[in-house]
Structure 1
Amino acid sequence: MGARVEKVKNSTDTVIHYPDRKAFTLVAVPIARKKYGDITANLLQHSLDYKPGNLHFNEWSYEAQQVKKSKEHIAIVNDEVKKANAKKVKSFSYNGSEQLESDRDLYNAFHKMKYKIDGTYVNGQWKITTTYSDVYNFECNFRQMFTGNNKLGWAAANLTNLMESWGTLNEYTSYVTVTDTRKAWK
């Protein structure tokens, strides 16, 4: 499996929030899987686990492969390589943020991700590592999942706020690492 979970302290609210989590697992997770896909559903399920740690997806994970195929990631890499080749530098590094909109599942799961891209010149090629990070935004995601900006969507977003304040849903950060190679200047 391509994901690693950070260790966190044991939770003391297992009994208190079990019914809430069970209901969300039975209702919201299947809706997320059907409407968006596996990434959204798995991130939601991870939050419903008891006090989850941050998730780290390596370059071989399904999540990283989907990010790597996105038009936004390809544009980020190509833009940085173009600038580095024009300057004929031996390395580059850049921080930014990008909305992943080209895939519904990526858009809902990660939406606007911060990223750090680093490239190193090796024998006429760029060896590139991009690390994305995002805090899962339940309010936005649930409003979208339950039909958007209508009353049902806003009710879902409000319920989500309550569930976060009760500790049923727990925010965490996902990190996705993607590696690429590109032709460099000679």
Structure 2
Amino acid sequence: MRGVEKVKDSTDTVIHYPDRKAFALVAVPIARKKYGDITANLLQHSLDYKPGNLHFNEWSYEAQQIKKSKEHIAIVNEEVKKANANKVKSFSYNGSKGLESDKDLYNAFHKMKYKIDGTYVKGQWEITTIYYDKYNFEYNFKQMFTGDNKLGWAAANLTNLMESWGTLNEYTSYVTVTDTKKAWK
């Protein structure tokens, strides 16, 4: 049964979700143990009351993990190679990529869209890549609870139900990653 609570120092009212609390006590620790902090933190964010989109800056743990991924390195190297071959002063490209080299990144973001921009400054490229992804609870919970077996499918079905109840709230994560690379001279 859900209750209603007055928010301290506010005229707002919040619906109490005991199922949200129970899910946080069970699923968040499983996510942290099985995948890592990024997956667990994204899940916890959704279980918070009416969360907004998340923005991770270039110094965040999430950005640093993406920056170390082989997929990000390949994206940056490919764009720099093309820009250097054409001796341009800037480049910009949109795409999408599955971050599969790390299980926490894979489960947390799976297939992110990205926008990469590079500017030529004094013989080097100053590059900013913004990754963004809507958290896919059905896919992620199915994987978290043992994949394609019956328990995985049950978790995916429970996730759909929890989304329709408003227990889980979808949102988009944005991660900014910056790099510098040697440019043509």
TM-score tier, shorter chain, comes to over 0.9
Matched-pair contact (CA < 8 Å) for 2:119–2:127 = yes
CA drift at 1:11: 12
> What TM-score do you get using the length of structure 1 for normalisation?
0.92
For residues 5 and 15 of structure 1, do their structure 2 counterparts lie closer, same or farther at Cα, with a shift above 3 Å needed? closer
CA drift at 1:7: 19
For residues 83 and 31 of structure 1, do their structure 2 counterparts lie closer, same or farther at Cα, with a shift above 3 Å needed? same
Tell me the distance in 2 between the aligned counterparts of 1:168 and 1:125.
47
Matched-pair contact (CA < 8 Å) for 1:125–1:181 = yes
CA drift at 1:18: 1.9
Tell me the SS of whatever aligns to 1:147.
Answer: coil
* 1:34 partnered with 2:33: yes
2:118 alignment partner in structure 1: 119
CA drift at 1:73: 0.2
Tell me the distance in 1 between the aligned counterparts of 2:4 and 2:135.
15
- CA radius of gyration, larger in: 2
For residues 29 and 179 of structure 1, do their structure 2 counterparts lie closer, same or farther at Cα, with a shift above 3 Å needed? same
Provide structure 1 residue ranges, at least 5 long, that are not aligned to the other structure: none
Tell me the SS of whatever aligns to 2:80.
Answer: helix
For residues 59 and 13 of structure 1, do their structure 2 counterparts lie closer, same or farther at Cα, with a shift above 3 Å needed? same
Matched-pair contact (CA < 8 Å) for 1:17–1:167 = no
Aligned length: 183
Matched-pair contact (CA < 8 Å) for 1:92–1:119 = yes
Tell me the distance in 2 between the aligned counterparts of 1:6 and 1:20.
15
CA offset digits 1:128-168 (Å, max 9, x no partner): 00000000000000000000000000000000000000000
Matched-pair contact (CA < 8 Å) for 1:145–1:153 = yes
Tell me the SS of whatever aligns to 2:16.
Answer: helix
Matched-pair contact (CA < 8 Å) for 1:120–1:128 = yes
> What TM-score do you get using the length of structure 2 for normalisation?
0.93
For residues 15 and 9 of structure 1, do their structure 2 counterparts lie closer, same or farther at Cα, with a shift above 3 Å needed? closer
Tell me the SS of whatever aligns to 1:165.
Answer: helix
Matched-pair contact (CA < 8 Å) for 1:5–1:54 = no
Tell me the SS of whatever aligns to 2:17.
Answer: helix
Considering only aligned residues, what root-mean-square deviation do their CA atoms show, in Å?
4.2
- Percent of aligned positions with the same letter in both sequences? 90
CA drift at 1:97: 0.2
Matched-pair contact (CA < 8 Å) for 1:81–1:184 = yes
Alignment of 1:12-51 (within 5 A): 16-51=15-50
For residues 156 and 175 of structure 1, do their structure 2 counterparts lie closer, same or farther at Cα, with a shift above 3 Å needed? same
Matched-pair contact (CA < 8 Å) for 1:117–1:129 = yes
2:162 alignment partner in structure 1: 163
Tell me the distance in 2 between the aligned counterparts of 1:145 and 1:61.
24
Tell me the SS of whatever aligns to 1:185.
Answer: coil
